[in-house]
């Protein structure tokens, strides 16, 4: 991937490296906020059947609530949010987003039909659109090149552990709400358990706002004003369009990420007689623990490559990670129990997350500092339009083409996994081969 744009990594004042306590606080709060965002985004996956029954929806309609309802505004708002993050105070921007998405999550709990639920998910997506661009840019500007990979890797723990924690905590809370003790809850006691769950999951966000406002805003990299659109597009075309390739590779990988995450709990409950609590625990653990391992490993690999080889080995790191994910997808189809399917999904998660972390850091090191949040937003938009919007609907869509197969939903996930990984490998492989030739010439 060439030698990167290390000339752009100028010394930026107020690095958190010089103040470890502030750095730890910043990374910890942003990571916890990302976990919260994924809890609010993914908790719907645990109550698919109750929502479907209560509102009279089909699997495809529920999948639209899981994916398109969220992704519609998430993808549209991500780029403007990224531009704002390159101009404004990032902790304040994130805090405002938390308020909006928390209200959207709670609104899901009082939805009366498909369209009111759809609008509530739109508000959820609108609020979450600012988080990753602003936080990633803040961490890149706040840490030196030797430490930003680890900082961003720890922050990325929030995405995978958040979706896993959503299932673990959501399943536990749902189990409590289905007991007679929950009848004592004020105001929401008369609502269905899935509605109570949505409302309760939206409340913690309001406690995060003051914590976010205590984060110090570092100086924006390079210069404070983002470049004009033509200059931004010209930078994207550099190095054989490396950044767009990385964005697109992450986007197609997210087909499998979101497609599997949306339907694995339902698969375990429908075909393997699991309860919401046990299904949530199985998939939650299979998401959270490997996700943490993948995030930390990806961040450490980035820092190692920066110290030893520059960025020339990054493509190989991503290819290896996505290859691991492909093995996990195939193993899901071979699973014959909840445990086997959970272990196979864990392999997928570890590989996908590790490759994502390496790719995200590489993207931001190949653009000027005043374009970083916008570049992350471009990646998020691609992920939303391809993975979040299409992934949850693609799984039941493929399953409907295999009505004679009892485990059609399970095999549909394998198909979506393969369809995700193969194009991603092809997109990354061309830069890798180019860089290998360049490295050979240099040696």
Structure tokens at 19: 């103040």
Contact predicate 94/212, CB 8 Å? yes
In this prediction, residue 156 carries a pLDDT of 75
Contact predicate 376/82, CB 8 Å? yes
Give Cα separations from 225 to 85, 87, 230, 282, 370 (angstroms).
Answer: 11, 6, 14, 46, 7
Residue 232 lies in a domain: yes
Residue 9 lies in a domain: no
Domain residues for 304? 15-442
Residue 401 lies in a domain: yes
Residue 272 sits in a domain whose CATH number is 1.20.1250.20
Rounded Cα distance, 58 and 388, in Å: 18
Residue 6 lies in a domain: no
Dihedral angle over CA of 143, 146, 152, 153, nearest 10: -150
| Number of domains the chain is built from | 1
Dihedral angle over CA of 388, 390, 391, 392, nearest 10: 90
Residue 4 lies in a domain: no
The number of C-alpha atoms within 13 Å of 143 and in the hemisphere containing its C-beta is 28
Which residues 6+ apart lie within 8 Å of 45 measured at CB? 66, 166, 167, 261, 262, 263, 265, 266
Rounded Cα distance, 167 and 46, in Å: 6
pLDDT at 147 over 50: yes
Mean pLDDT of the residues in the chain: 80
pLDDT at 146 over 80: no
In this prediction, residue 204 carries a pLDDT of 92
Residue 416 lies in a domain: yes
SS3 call for 221:
coil
Rounded Cα distance, 295 and 227, in Å: 31
Residue 166 lies in a domain: yes
Reported as a single tens digit per residue, the pLDDT across 26-47 is 888 999 999 999 889 888 888 8
Considering only 9-18, 57-66, 108-117, 264-273, which range has the smallest mean pLDDT? 9-18
> Using a CB cutoff of 8 Å and minimum separation of 24, what contacts does 327-336 make?
327/351, 328/417, 329/256, 329/413, 329/414, 329/416, 329/417, 329/418, 329/420, 329/421, 330/414, 330/417, 330/418, 332/260, 332/410, 332/413, 332/414, 332/417, 333/410, 333/411, 333/413, 333/414, 335/410
Reported as a single tens digit per residue, the pLDDT across 71-88 is 778 878 877 887 788 778
In this prediction, residue 37 carries a pLDDT of 92
pTM (predicted TM-score): 0.70
């Amino acid at each position: 991937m060439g030698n990167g744009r290390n000339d752009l990594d100028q010394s930026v004042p107020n690095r958190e490296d010089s103040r470890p306590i502030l750095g730890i606080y910043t990374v910890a709060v942003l990571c916890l906020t990302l976990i919260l965002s994924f809890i609010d985004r993914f908790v719907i996956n645990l109550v698919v059947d109750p929502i479907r029954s209560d509102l009279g929806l089909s699997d495809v309609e529920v999948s639209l609530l899981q994916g398109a309802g969220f992704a519609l505004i998430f993808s549209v708002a991500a780029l403007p949010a990224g531009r704002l993050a390159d101009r404004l105070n990032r902790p304040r921007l994130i805090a405002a987003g938390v308020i909006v998405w928390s209200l959207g999550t709670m609104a899901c709990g009082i939805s009366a039909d498909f369209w009111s639920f759809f609008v509530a998910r739109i508000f959820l997506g609108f609020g979450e659109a600012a988080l990753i661009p602003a936080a990633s840019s803040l961490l890149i500007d706040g840490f030196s090149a030797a430490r930003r990979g680890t900082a961003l890797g720890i922050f990325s723990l929030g995405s995978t552990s958040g979706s896993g924690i959503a299932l673990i905590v959501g399943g536990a809370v749902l189990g409590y709400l289905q007991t007679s003790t929950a009848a004592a809850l004020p105001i929401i006691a008369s609502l269905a358990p899935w509605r109570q769950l949505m409302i309760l999951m939206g409340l913690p966000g309001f406690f995060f706002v003051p914590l976010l406002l205590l984060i110090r805003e570092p100086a924006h990299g390079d210069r404070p004003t983002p470049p004009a659109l033509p200059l931004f597009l010209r930078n994207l075309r550099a190095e054989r369009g490396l950044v767009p390739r990385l964005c697109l590779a992450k986007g197609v990988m997210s087909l499998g990420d979101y497609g599997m995450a949306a339907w694995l709990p339902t698969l375990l409950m429908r075909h393997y007689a699991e309860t919401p609590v046990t299904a949530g625990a199985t998939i939650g653990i299979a998401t959270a623990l490997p996700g943490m391992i993948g995030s930390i490993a990806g961040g450490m690999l980035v820092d190692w490559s920066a110290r030893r080889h520059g960025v020339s080995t990054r493509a190989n790191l991503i290819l290896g990670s996505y290859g691991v994910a492909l093995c996990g997808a195939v193993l899901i189809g071979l699973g014959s129990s909840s445990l086997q399917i959970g272990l196979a999904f864990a392999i997928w998660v570890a590989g996908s997350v590790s490759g994502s972390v390496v790719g995200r850091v590489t993207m931001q090191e190949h653009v000027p500092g005043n374009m970083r949040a916008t570049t992350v937003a471009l990646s998020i938009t691609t992920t939303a339009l391809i993975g979040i919007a299409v992934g949850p609907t693609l799984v039941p869509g493929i399953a409907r083409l295999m009505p004679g197969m009892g485990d059609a939903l399970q095999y549909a996930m394998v198909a979506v996994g393969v369809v995700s990984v193969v194009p991603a490998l092809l997109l990354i492989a061309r830069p890798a081969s180019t860089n290998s030739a360049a490295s050979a010439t240099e040696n």
